[in-house]
Amino acid sequence: MPQKRLVSANGAVALALLSLAAVAEAQAPADVTACADERVKTAMLQPTQLAAAEAACSRVLAANASAAEQQKASFYRGLMRFLQVVQKGMASTGKADGSIAYALPTLAQVRPALVDVEVAIGLDGPMKGDALTLRATINQTIGRNAEARADVAEAMQAAPKDSTPFVQRALEHERDGNVNAAMIDLDRALELDPKAGTALSARGDLLRRLGYLQRARTDLEGAAALGPPFRRLALMRKSELELRAGDLRAAYDDLVAASRETGDMPKADAALASADLFVQAGALALDKLKDTETAEKLYREAQKLAPRNWSAALGLARVAEATGEKAKAEAIYKRILAGTRATPKLLERILASWRLKQLSQPAFRGTGPFRSGLDSGVAPAKPSPDGLKRIAFVIGSSDYAELSSLPNARRDAAVMANALADMGFDAIEIAENVAKADLRRIPALIAEQAAQADVVLVFYAGHGVETGGINYLVPTDATLDSDKVLRTDALALGDLTAAAAKARRGALVIVDACRDDPFAEAQAVAASRGTGGRQLAALPERIHGGLAAVPQPAPNNVVLHSTQPGKTASDGDGLDSPFVRALLETLSSPGKTLDAVVQETATRVSEKTDGRQVPAAYGAAPAVALLPKKAAR
């Protein structure tokens, strides 16, 4: 849901918006007070409230106000106009595929706000620093990073004791992977204002990503204690931290507490955000705490708040499976399929189809890393109509012994396997939670079958790491020190692509593994535990993550990464992974060549992330269609 993404997936935007709490207090007359609506500091105002404040600001500007009042009115009108644009982008409008996405504003949409803010910057008065930080926020939100950096530098000169510009610059440093520079700025922000919620949230989340859990916990607890508008986001991030620390109950309690927040956004928006959090808490209760009764209550609470929340319905079906009520689970999955018939690309629908097939044809667990899709109820509807043999190998690793878990990886692999079967692939081979011994066997198994196929697709979701320009896929039983012996403890991506290249007409290898270095984070977590949280080790200079560029693959073969070399991709929240959604949307239209699939997927991901994530493709694609022209639905 978009409300959740505003406070979670769009962390930089959320923190930038929250930073606007540092504004000057309004003074009489009444229009000035109404214009500078103090509630904007602690809550997301209703559209009617924003419009009323904007109208009051316009009356102030039309009157014979002092220069200081004109500056204040220009600032606040720009703020209210910007927030109205943001809220329109958050509106719960469904797309053609049934999904809901937060649309970042464009320059044209925010231009009226920018005009007002620039007037405030040009007027003499005490709010020039506030206006500069607001312009930086707007520029950051629409992706004009060079302009945002210039605004931040000017704001630091105009208001040297304001913490907000330091937080904004830290976000830019973090986006560039420069840990030390980001931390210096966040430390400085908190020196200026020890209760700066944006700084506490940003520093806590950065420390969490690096594995410095105790230090991160302190910051996130401090942000949560400040109340709205910081509490919900801080609790969500602290829940992720507690999961990594192994405290499942604390993680659950944080999610439930976050779901009970109501004072930070309008009632309807808070209900949708809380429904998403109830679904997350339900999954934690079901999968980790093994408490089916609590999980069912949470999923039902989510449904009350958002009746068409198909994720909550999926949860109730899984509860029925866990309690042995097969008929009840089947009925719920069928209800989801009936209710989403008009949105065939919806991930929740594909998941319901997958799980329904597994109930009717229980999976047979073979001895090797792969099991046939037939054993999981994933069977092609009919052979490829063009006579070409197509095989897909789908690998999803979520449950790592010592590295951070990736709950979305197995889910994404399951969705991909089910979708490819429906789209016309002749055979689907599935591997989940692959350990070292099996992972290193995979290239030989793929090569043997690929040699008998015309088109091969390989999809990998899990941890990956780059060292010395070589990309490795990481087994689930990797140890903290496996990064020192990757050649023996991991699988070189090049071996996987070479195996797929045995296909007669062409192959596409898709790698969704562009994240922060899992070994650096795990080693920091272990060190923190070993010192009882009294972690004194120096921070790394940079966040190492992403994968390296791929050497030129064999002719007629393409390798697709979820983002550019050295960059990290968004995992998304719940079912909102932009890369997986874009890939499924592209694949759902049959008859596309490999090159068209790659190009369209890259375009869709870029559009979904406003250009912040752009997949990278390597190799020369053949003219052969990845999917037959008349795939069965």
Q: What is the pLDDT of residue 3?
A: 36
Pairing type for strands 470-473 and 427-432 reads unpaired
Q: Tokens at residue 299, please? A: 């999923």
Backbone angles phi, psi at 229, to 5 degrees: -95, 15
Q: For the chain, which residues score pLDDT lower than 50?
A: 1-10, 21-28, 92-100, 364, 366, 536, 573-575, 631-633
Q: Which residues contact 187 (CB under 8 A, 6 or more apart)?
A: 203
What is the rounded distance in angstroms from the CA atom of residue 472 to the CA atom of residue 34? 58
- Residue 367, classified by CB atoms within 10 Å of its CB into exposed (0-12), middle (13-18) or buried (19+), is exposed
What is the rounded distance in angstroms from the CA atom of residue 159 to the CA atom of residue 127? 9
Is 36 strand, coil or helix?
coil
Q: Tokens at residue 215, please? A: 């230090």
Q: What is the pLDDT of residue 579?
A: 87
Amino acid code (one letter) for 194? P
Q: What is the model's pTM?
A: 0.82
Q: Residue 286 in contact with residue 318, Cβ under 8 Å? A: yes
**208 to each of 9, 505, 535, how far by Cα in Å?**
15, 45, 13
Find tokens 């000169």 and name the residue: 157
Strand arrangement, sheet containing 427-432: 371-372, 427-432, 390-396, 455-461, 506-512, 557-561, 616-618
Q: Residue 350 in contact with residue 328, Cβ under 8 Å? A: no
CA-closest candidate to residue 376, choices 330, 431, 327: 431
Q: Residue 89 in contact with residue 104, Cβ under 8 Å? A: yes
Q: Residue 499 in contact with residue 453, Cβ under 8 Å? A: no
What is the rounded distance in angstroms from the CA atom of residue 483 to the CA atom of residue 492? 13
Pairing type for strands 557-561 and 506-512 reads parallel
Q: Which residues contact 108 (CB under 8 A, 6 or more apart)?
A: none
Other Cβ atoms within 10 Å of 573 Cβ, number: 17
The answer to whether the bond into 540 is cis (omega within 30° of 0) is no
Amino acid code (one letter) for 154? E
For the segment 228-242, what is each residue's pLDDT rounded down to a tens digit? 889 999 999 999 999
What is the rounded distance in angstroms from the CA atom of residue 482 to the CA atom of residue 302? 41
Find tokens 């709490």 and name the residue: 21
Q: What is the pLDDT of residue 14?
A: 54
Q: What is the pLDDT of residue 97?
A: 44
Q: Which secondary-structure segment (H or E) carries 429?
A: strand 427-432
Q: Residue 197 in contact with residue 20, Cβ under 8 Å? A: no
Q: What is the pLDDT of residue 78?
A: 96
**248 to each of 283, 335, 523, how far by Cα in Å?**
12, 32, 20
- DSSP readout, 447-511? HHHHTT-SEEEEEEES-EEEETTEEEEPPTT--TTGGGGHHHHSEEHHHHHHHHTTSSSEEEEEE
What is the rounded distance in angstroms from the CA atom of residue 174 to the CA atom of residue 187? 14
Q: What is the pLDDT of residue 374?
A: 55
Pairing type for strands 616-618 and 557-561 reads antiparallel
Rg of the Cα atoms in the chain: 25
Q: For residue 560, list its beta bridge partners.
A: 510, 617
Is 396 strand, coil or helix?
strand
Q: What is the pLDDT of residue 186?
A: 96
**415 to each of 421, 581, 603, 627, how far by Cα in Å?**
10, 10, 21, 17
Find tokens 């949409």 and name the residue: 109
Q: What is the pLDDT of residue 595?
A: 85
**479 to each of 408, 490, 632, how far by Cα in Å?**
21, 11, 43
What is the rounded distance in angstroms from the CA atom of residue 305 to the CA atom of residue 426? 42
Q: What is the pLDDT of residue 626?
A: 83
What is the rounded distance in angstroms from the CA atom of residue 68 to the CA atom of residue 532? 53
Q: Residue 33 in contact with residue 594, Cβ under 8 Å? A: no
